[in-house]
């Protein structure tokens, strides 16, 4: 196949205002990515768009295995609240995440949110 560019698990993006930090999540347009390196704003960086990651979550909410997970771009954390947030994947920890936990395991879906969703 001559038109394949990459497997698509990791892609290159431009770091937003404030730059990116390795291991943290960012919304690039309508696509959620996890930065693989730390770079300053405006520089290219690679971001994982699929895979399973431990990410910052909203404390005080329990997750169940397979539950839809969303990114709150204002609070910069994962949540189960869909309103005004971007769907990024599903809860991936066997047995779920406890309410008090501040980190949750997420299986990224690698899809952007459609306009109007």
- Per-residue model confidence as pLDDT tens digits over 96-110: 788 888 999 999 998
**Above 90 in pLDDT, residue 115?**
no
Which sign, positive or negative, has the C-alpha torsion 49, 51, 55, 58?
A: positive
Distance between CA atoms of residues 62 and 80, nearest Å: 9
Mean per-residue pLDDT of the chain: 90
Which sign, positive or negative, has the C-alpha torsion 46, 4, 86, 116?
A: positive
Distance between CA atoms of residues 81 and 58, nearest Å: 10
**Bigger pLDDT: 84 vs 116:** 84
């Amino acid at each position: 196949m001559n038109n394949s560019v990459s497997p698509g698990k990791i892609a290159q993006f431009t770091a937003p205002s404030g730059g990116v930090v390795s291991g943290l999540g960012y919304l690039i347009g309508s696509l959620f990515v996890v930065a693989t390196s730390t770079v300053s704003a405006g520089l290219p960086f690679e971001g994982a768009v699929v895979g399973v990651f431990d990410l910052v979550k909203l404390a005080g909410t329990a997750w169940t295995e397979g539950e839809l997970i969303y990114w709150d771009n204002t609070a910069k954390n994962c949540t189960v609240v869909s309103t005004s947030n971007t769907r990024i994947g599903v809860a991936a920890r066997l047995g779920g995440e406890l309410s008090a936990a501040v980190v949750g395991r997420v299986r990224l879906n690698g899809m952007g949110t459609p306009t109007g969703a």
